[in-house]
Chains A and B, each alone.
Chain A
């Protein structure tokens, strides 16, 4: 079965540290890729997305992600995190050739120490 793997369930960083959250998926067809974020007490919202074109996509709040098709990966990065980035991050993959199923990763809780 198709799956999305987020390698880290919990990440703790200090402010100004660089961030990379891993996301790998198992599906050989066409995909749309997403990172969603859930700040404490708030609803899930879109951070960034990849549909086609430049595999390096930029999202809100200085986040970016790179789609590497050969590695089935869509890792999320930010060069310098802030305390306000504390949140839970979810990677999601839409299987465009398989009934548009949206498969979710388990999420990564990111805590930024001030």
Chain B
């Protein structure tokens, strides 16, 4: 069964609104979660590392004020796309490490965001 659950799977919103995506670790506690963005015909791009109880670590070029990450508990991380614009339309995927620092990940189903 699924180890990581992401919600919503699809979301369509108007430009200027904010959208929250949830990522839940179902079977175990996760002090770290990763948020990826997947562009068509391109590889996954790591946006940020979500750390339980502390600030997220953002990758270079990712606007922290634009993509707010909250990791309030050991099983939940949220990504909020603030004041969304059409260029934010993308597929957002969260993942949880199976083992720390190995690169082996469990992935959520992904969330397709379309900003009109």
Residues of A within 8 A of B (CB): 4, 9, 32, 34, 36, 42-46, 49, 51, 90, 92-94, 96, 100, 102, 104-107
Closest 9 CB pairs of A and B: A94-B103, A104-B43, A44-B107, A100-B101, A43-B109, A106-B43, A104-B44, A102-B103, A32-B103
Is residue B104 within 8 Å, beta carbon to beta carbon, of the partner chain?
Answer: yes
B contact residues around A45 at 8 Å (CB): 107
Q: A32-B103, A100-B103, A106-B41 are in contact. List 10 more A-B contacts (CB 8 A).
A: A32-B102, A32-B104, A42-B109, A43-B4, A45-B107, A46-B104, A46-B105, A102-B103, A106-B42, A107-B43
Closest to B101 in A: A100
Bitwise, B1-19 to A at CB < 8 A (1) or not (0) is 0101010000000000000
Q: Which of B42, B93, B102 contacts A44 (CB 8 A)?
A: B93
Q: Which label, helix, strand, loop or mixed, suits the secondary structure of the A interface?
A: strand
Give complex CA distance A107, B42 in Å. Answer: 7
In the assembled complex, how far is the CB of residue B104 from the closest CB belonging to chain A, in whole angstroms?
6
Give complex CA distance A20, B102 in Å. Answer: 25
Q: Which label, helix, strand, loop or mixed, suits the secondary structure of the B interface?
A: loop
CB distance A90 to B44 under 8 Å?
Answer: yes
Give complex CA distance A105, B110 in Å. Answer: 18
B contact residues around A96 at 8 Å (CB): 101
B contact residues around A92 at 8 Å (CB): 103
In the assembled complex, how far is the CB of residue A67 from the closest CB belonging to chain B, in whole angstroms?
14
Closest to B103 in A: A94
Is residue B46 within 8 Å, beta carbon to beta carbon, of the partner chain?
Answer: yes
